[in-house]
C-alpha cells in the first residue's frame, strides 16, 4: 500500500494545491461559460437537424432558418464551447507542467469576459443575417476582433507562466500548448483580414479552416490525452521518443492540408496535389499518437470502468485515430468524387470535433473541476449516464452520416437518378441524426447539472477526495 500522500511529501502536495487554487477562478469561469455555450450550441444543432425531418418547422422566421442556425451552431460550438473549455484546461495544465501558479490570472478573467462577448455578438449577428458567409469565419469583423483580443490575453498568460517555469524538461504536452498559443493568433487575425477576393479567398478560407484544427483544436485534444492517459494510469507514456517524432511530423505536415477541401475546385491542381500528399502523410504523426496511447493503456483497460477521466479520454484518443485515417482517405480524389458536398463530410467533422475533442474535454474536466472547486463529483451514476449518452449519440451520428452520405454521393453521381430520389434516400439517416443529437443533448444536460452541483458544493462530501489522495482521477 502506498502511504497517504500527506505524510509522504507535504511540500509537493501543498504546492499542487496552491497551483489549483491560483487557477481556480479563471478555470471555472472558462468551464462554466464553455458549458453554457455547449447547451446553446446543442439546441441550435438539434434544431438545424430537425429541419431536415420537418422542413416547414420555423421556416417563416428568417432568424431561425437553416442557413442561419447551422453556421450559428458551428461557431458557437467551435469558438464558444470547444475553445473556452479547451482554454480552461490549458490554463490548468500549463500551471501543472511548469510547476508554477498561473501568471496574470486577472488577464484570464478579462479574456473569459471578452471571449463570451465575442461569441455572443457573432452568434447573434449570424442569426440576424450579418454573416460573412465564409465557413468557420462567419463572424463579422468586430466579433472576430473581440475573440482575437481574448485569445491574445489568454496566450500572454500562458506564455508568462511558461517563462516562469520551474522545470528543465518540457513535457510533450507543453510543446502542443506552446504551438497553439504562438500559431493560432496570427492565423486567426490574418484569415479575418478583409482583403481577399475570388479564388484566393477560397484558398485562405480552407487554409484557415483546416489550420484552426491543426494549431488549435487538435493540439488541445492531444495535449490533454498525452497528459491524462499516463497520469491516470500511473505509467509513463510508452515511447516518449515517438511522441516527439509525432509532434514534429504533426507540425511539418498538418498546415498543408487545408486545400484538400477544394479538390476539384478552381484552385491550381498542383496546390490540391500537395495538399492531398500532406493529408496522407498525416498518417505518420497519427500512427505515432495511436501506438503511444494504445501501448500506454494496454493492460489497464479495466481502469476504464472506474475512472471517468480515462474512459472519456481513451474514447477520444481512439476517435482521433479513426477521424485522422478517415480524413487522409477522404482527401484522395477518388473518394472526393463520391463524398464531396454530401453528409459524409458532416459525419467526419463530428467524429473529429465531438468524438475526439469534446470527449477528451469532458474527460479533462472530470479531472480538473473537483481539484479547482475543492469538491468531488457526487453522482457516479450520472457520470456513467453522461458517458453513454454522449458516446452512443456520437457513434450513431457518425454511422448514420458516413453510410447515408456515401450512398447519397453514389446516388448523386448517377445522372439518371432524379434529385428528389436522392433526397428521399437520405431521410432515414437524417432522422437518425436528430435522434443522436437529442441523446448527446441529454448527456450535456446531465454534465451541466453535475458541474453546477460541484461548483456550488452541493450534495454529500465524498470520502478521499482526489485533491488529497496521491493518485489521479
Partner 1 sequence: MNIPPEVLLLIGISVCGSAVALAAFVWAVNTGQMDETESGALAIFDEGEPEGAQGQATGTGRQRRRSD
The distance of closest approach from Cβ of residue 454 to partner 1 in the complex, given in angstroms and rounded to an integer, is 10
Q: Using CB under 8 A, which residues numbered 47 to 86 contact partner 1?
A: none
Q: What cell does 22 get? A: 491560483
Of the ranges 35-43, 151-159, 167-175, 411-419, which one interacts with partner 1 (CB under 8 A)?
167-175
Q: State in Å, rounded, how far the first CA of the chain is from the last one.
A: 18
- Closer CB to partner 1, 392 or 466, in the complex: 466
Q: How far is the CB of 116 from partner 1 (least distance, A)?
A: 28
Q: Is 392 in the site for partner 1 (CB under 8 A)?
A: no
Sequence-ordered list of residues with C-beta below 8 angstroms from that of 183, at least 6 positions apart, any chain: 211, 215
- By the 10 Å C-beta count (0-12 exposed, 13-18 middle, 19+ buried), 135 is classed as middle
Whether the CB-CB separation of 421 and 411 falls below 8 Å is answered with yes
Residues in region 244-273 near partner 1 by CB under 8 A? 244, 248, 251-252, 255
SS3 (DSSP) at 275: helix
Stretch that binds partner 1, among 129-137, 264-272, 303-311, 336-344 (CB under 8 A): 303-311
Helix (H, G, I), strand (E, B) or coil at 375: coil
| SS3 per residue for 100-160 | CCCCCHHHHHHHHHHHHHHHHHHHHHHHHCCCCCCCCCCCCHHHHHHHHHHHHHHHHHHHH
Residue 383 engages partner 1 in binding (rule: CB under 8 A): yes
> Is 361 one of the binding residues for partner 1 (CB under 8 A)?
no
Q: How far is the CB of 344 from partner 1 (least distance, A)?
A: 30
With CB under 8 A as the contact rule, the residue among 67, 129, 236, 265 that binds partner 1 is 236
Q: How far apart are CA 304 and CA 302, in angstroms?
A: 5
The per-residue DSSP string of 384-430 comes to HHHHHHHHHHHHHHHHHHHHHHHHHHHHHH-TTS-HHHHHHHHHHHH
**Would you mind telling me the total number of residues written for the chain in this entry?**
473
Binder among 169, 415, 419, 420 for partner 1 (CB under 8 A): 169
Among 67, 142, 234, 265, binds partner 1 (CB under 8 A): 234
Residue 420 touches partner 1, criterion: CB under 8 A = no
Alpha helices (H) along 331-379: 333-339, 343-350, 359-373
Please report whether residue 22 would count as binding partner 1 according to CB under 8 A: no
How many whole angstroms separate alpha carbon 292 and alpha carbon 103? 32
Q: Identify the residue among 59, 186, 264, 268 touching partner 1 (CB under 8 A).
A: 186
**How many residues sit close enough to partner 1 to count as binding (CB under 8 A)?**
68
Candidates 24-32, 34-42, 171-179, 266-274: pick the segment binding partner 1 (CB under 8 A). Answer: 171-179
Apex 48 CA angle, 44 and 49, nearest 5: 120
CB 3 within 8 A of CB 86: no
289 near partner 1 (CB under 8 A): no
Helix (H) or strand (E) segment spanning residue 448: helix 419-455
Minimum distance of partner 1 from residue 291's CB (angstroms): 14
Nearest CB to partner 1, comparing residues 62 and 182:
182
Nearer residue to partner 1 within complex by CB, 145 or 470: 470
Exposed (0-12), middle (13-18) or buried (19+): which is 428, by Cβ within 10 Å? exposed
CA distance 420 to 422: 5
Pick the piece of the chain touching partner 1 (CB under 8 A) from 24-32, 233-241, 271-279, 328-336. Answer: 233-241
**Interface with partner 1 in residues 84-123 (CB under 8 A):** 97
With binding defined as CB under 8 A, does residue 376 bind partner 1?
yes
Per CB under 8 A, the list member of 56, 166, 195, 419 interacting with partner 1 is 195
Regarding 473 and contact with partner 1 (CB under 8 A), the answer is yes
C-beta closer to partner 1: residue 255 or 431:
255
CB of 29 to partner 1, least distance (A): 22
* Minimum CB distance to partner 1 smaller for 379 or for 438: 379
16, containing H or E segment: helix 10-53
Nearer to partner 1, 58 or 170 (CB): 170
Residue number, 128 or 167, with CB nearest to partner 1: 167
User: Smallest distance, Å, CB 415 to partner 1?
Assistant: 37
Q: Please give the Cα distance from 11 to 19 (Å, whole number).
A: 12
The full DSSP string for 200-233 is HHHHHHHHHHHHHIIIIIHHHHHHHHHHHHHHHH
**Least separation in angstroms between CB 170 and partner 1:** 6
Site residues, partner 1 (CB under 8 A): 1-2, 5, 8-9, 12-13, 16, 97, 167, 169-172, 178, 182-183, 186, 190, 193, 195-196, 200, 204, 207, 227, 230-237, 240-241, 243-244, 248, 251-252, 255, 300, 303, 305-310, 366-367, 370, 376-377, 379-380, 383-384, 462-464, 466, 469-473
Amino acid at each position: 500500500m502506498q502511504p497517504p500522500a500527506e505524510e509522504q511529501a507535504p511540500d509537493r502536495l501543498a504546492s499542487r494545491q496552491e497551483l489549483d487554487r491560483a487557477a481556480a477562478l479563471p478555470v471555472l469561469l472558462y468551464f462554466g461559460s464553455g458549458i453554457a455555450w455547449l447547451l446553446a450550441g446543442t439546441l441550435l444543432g438539434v434544431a438545424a437537424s430537425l429541419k431536415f425531418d420537418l422542413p416547414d418547422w420555423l421556416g417563416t422566421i428568417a432568424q431561425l432558418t437553416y442557413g442561419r442556425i447551422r453556421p450559428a451552431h458551428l461557431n458557437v460550438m467551435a469558438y464558444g464551447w470547444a475553445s473556452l473549455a479547451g482554454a480552461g484546461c490549458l490554463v490548468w495544465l500549463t500551471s501543472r507542467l511548469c510547476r508554477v501558479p498561473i501568471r496574470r490570472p486577472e488577464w484570464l478573467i478579462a479574456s473569459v469576459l471578452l471571449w463570451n462577448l465575442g461569441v455572443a455578438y457573432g452568434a447573434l449577428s449570424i442569426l440576424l443575417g450579418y454573416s460573412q458567409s465564409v465557413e468557420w469565419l462567419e463572424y463579422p469583423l468586430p466579433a472576430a476582433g473581440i475573440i482575437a483580443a481574448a485569445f491574445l490575453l489568454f496566450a500572454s498568460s500562458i506564455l508568462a507562466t511558461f517563462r516562469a517555469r520551474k522545470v528543465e524538461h518540457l513535457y510533450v504536452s507543453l510543446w502542443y500548448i506552446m504551438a497553439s498559443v504562438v500559431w493560432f493568433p496570427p492565423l486567426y487575425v490574418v484569415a479575418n483580414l478583409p482583403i481577399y477576393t475570388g479564388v484566393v479567398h477560397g484558398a485562405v478560407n480552407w487554409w484557415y479552416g483546416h489550420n484552426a484544427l491543426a494549431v488549435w483544436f487538435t493540439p488541445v485534444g492531444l495535449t490533454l490525452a498525452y497528459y491524462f492517459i499516463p497520469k491516470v494510469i500511473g505509467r509513463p507514456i510508452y515511447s516518449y521518443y515517438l511522441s516527439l517524432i509525432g509532434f514534429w511530423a504533426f507540425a511539418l505536415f498538418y498546415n498543408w492540408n487545408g486545400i484538400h477541401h477544394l479538390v476539384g475546385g478552381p484552385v491550381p491542381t498542383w496546390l490540391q496535389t500537395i495538399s492531398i500528399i500532406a493529408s496522407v502523410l498525416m498518417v505518420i504523426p497519427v500512427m505515432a499518437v495511436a501506438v503511444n496511447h494504445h501501448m500506454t493503456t494496454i493492460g489497464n483497460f479495466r481502469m476504464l470502468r472506474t475512472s471517468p477521466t480515462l474512459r472519456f479520454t481513451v474514447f477520444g484518443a481512439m476517435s482521433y485515430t479513426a477521424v485522422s485515417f478517415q480524413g487522409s482517405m477522404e482527401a484522395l480524389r477518388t473518394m472526393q468524387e463520391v463524398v464531396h458536398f454530401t453528409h459524409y463530410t458532416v459525419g467526419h467533422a463530428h467524429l473529429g470535433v465531438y468524438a475526439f475533442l469534446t470527449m477528451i474535454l469532458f474527460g479533462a474536466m472530470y479531472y480538473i473541476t473537483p481539484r479547482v472547486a475543492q469538491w468531488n463529483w457526487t453522482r457516479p451514476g450520472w457520470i456513467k449516464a453522461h458517458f453513454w449518452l454522449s458516446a452512443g449519440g456520437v457513434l450513431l451520428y457518425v454511422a448514420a452520416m458516413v453510410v447515408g452520405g456515401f450512398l447519397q454521393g453514389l446516388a448523386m453521381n448517377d445522372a439518371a437518378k432524379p434529385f428528389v430520389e436522392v433526397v428521399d434516400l437520405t431521410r432515414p439517416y437524417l432522422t437518425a441524426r436528430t435522434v443522436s443529437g437529442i441523446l448527446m443533448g441529454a448527456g450535456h444536460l446531465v454534465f451541466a447539472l453535475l458541474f453546477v452541483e460541484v461548483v456550488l458544493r452541493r450534495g454529500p462530501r465524498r470520502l478521499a477526495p482526489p485533491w488529497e489522495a496521491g493518485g489521479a482521477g
